Every structure is written in structure tokens, then in C-alpha cells.
Amino acid sequence: MNTKDQRTKEYRDKLNEIEKKLKGENRNFFKDLRDYLVTSSFFYDEEDVTEQTYNVCLDLLDAQENGQNAEEFFGKNSRKLADSMIKNFKHASFKDSLYFILLPIGIYWIVTFIGDFVTPGALRINLLEYFLVAVLSLVICPFIFWVIHKSVYLSENNPVRKSKVIQYLLGTIFFACVIGLFLLINILTPAVGVIKLVFPYDTLFILVIAAIFIGWILIKKEQALYSIIPYIILMLLGGVLQRTPVMHKLLGDNNVKFLIVGAVILGFLIDVIWGRVILKKLTKEEK
């Protein structure tokens, strides 16, 4: 973790501690403000956003200790306050912006790589398919932030804001549509610029890519991605089984297929369950 990331983490940790001291309407006011600021854009400097949010929280805590509430201190229109803050945010560096652009693309590509690796035969990399996946991921990630950003200050009577059930259903439908789009790309994309890797080069290639990705997750301590590690490992094992003739002889073709399907299902279940646990933990830390 570099110095800038360390400072950002320190501001975030202090902010989380101070936010816990806010009470009632003050806490609700600040939660909406914070969510609105954090989801304002990929391309603002994270340290600057966190520092300014931290300073606002300090001011609100001081006002609370002096007997004032958020509306008395900042005014009733918290969205106006947030918009004025956003205008003064520093833009992220080119390096940070590139990181936010490439991260979702890299994750989708690696998952697609490993999914292709599990299928029988030589590994085929369809360059057009990977390009379309990259374009879709670039559209989806900012869109998710935009939707969350716009939903923060919905009317209190809005059914989406009032009902957790509606929020869950809309989220489920949205992500089902996203998965459907990726599947359509996989099924309908014509074979253009296909690179073919045969055994053992396909296995070596995938193992190196997976090792780099898992190593990056662990070194960078990307907690939100920890749950995907067992899924990747089990998918890799399935792919290796698929491509190892001696395993087919020892276990039989049908048993190898059952083991691969079992590995994929188990990896997916671990990813979903562990992912929910991590998400709840991270959410609690933010409160």
C-alpha cells in the first residue's frame, strides 16, 4: 500500500469512527451525503473525496455537540451541499483513472478465460468476444455508480427508497440482465481473431494468469475479491482434469465430467456465500 492509499485508509477509518457518534437525523443526513459523494464518479481523487467528507463529518459532530442538527447547520438541501462539494473535488490522476478502467475489464477477462479453460478441447481465445466484454464492463460499472448516486436523494415516499424488497428485486433483475448480456456475447459472437492454445501451453498460460491475479488480490488485500479465489482454484482444477489424459483413464470420462461440474458448482456456491459474508463485514465497517 503506497503513502497515498495509506492516507486515504486513515481518513476512512477516522471517518467511520466519527460517523458512529452521530445520532438520529444527523446520522441519516450524513449517510445520504456520504453515499452521494462516494458514488459521484470513478474519476475523482479518492483521497480528496474522503478527506472532504471527513471534514464535513467533523463539522457536523461539532454542531451536534453544540445542540444543532444537520439541517440547522448545513441547511435543508443536503443535495445542494453535496453538489457544491463535488464541483471542488480534485480529478484523479491518469494512473488512478486507468486503474479503475482496467480493473473491471481484467476481472471479467480472467473469469472468461477460466470459463473457457473448463470446456473440452484446446483453449480458444476469441479476440472479438473479449473486446465486447471489455466494452460492456466499461458501460456497466459507471452505470451502477450512476444509478446508486441518483437513488440516494429519492423522495422518502418513493417505493424504491422505502422498500428493501423492491430494491432487492430490482437489483436481482438488473444483475440477471447483465449476466444474460455476457452469455449472449459468448454465444453469438462470431469467431473473429481466434487464438488457439493446445495442451500443455493452454494450461501453463491459464495457471500463470490465475497465479498473478490471485497474488494481486492477496498482496493488495482486495477483501471484496477474496471470495472468488476458491472459485478460480476449483475451476482451474476442473480444467486440468479435463486436459489430463491419465485422469480420464483412471477415473473414466463420465466421472471426470461429474467432478468438473461438481467443482464448478462448489466454487460458485463458495463465491456466493463467502461473498455475502465479506459484503456484510465491509458494510458493518463502513457504519
Could you tell me the three cell numbers for 118? Answer: 473448463
**Using CA atoms, how far apart are residues 111 and 106, in angstroms rounded to an integer?**
9
Model confidence at 283, in pLDDT bands (50, 70, 90)? very low
Place 284 in a pLDDT band, splitting at 50, 70 and 90: very low
Q: Compute the half-sphere exposure of residue 282: CA atoms within 13 Å on the CB side of its CA.
A: 12
Asked if the model's pLDDT at residue 32 lies above 70, the reply is yes
On the question of pLDDT at 267 being above 70, the answer is no
**Apex 53 CA angle, 223 and 66, nearest 5:** 125
The rounded radius of gyration (Å) of the Cα atoms in the chain is: 23
Indicate the average pLDDT of the chain. Answer: 78
Closest CA to 89 of 125, 47, 127, 56: 47
Per-residue pLDDT at 41 exceeds 70: no
- Structural domain boundaries in the chain: 3-92, 123-197, 198-287
State pLDDT tens for residues 125-174: 888 988 988 888 888 878 887 887 777 766 666 776 667 777 777 777 88
Kindly tell me if the per-residue pLDDT of 212 is higher than 80: yes
Contact partners, residue 15, CB within 8 Å, separation at least 6: 34, 50, 53, 54, 57
Which of 249 and 201 is assigned the larger pLDDT? 201
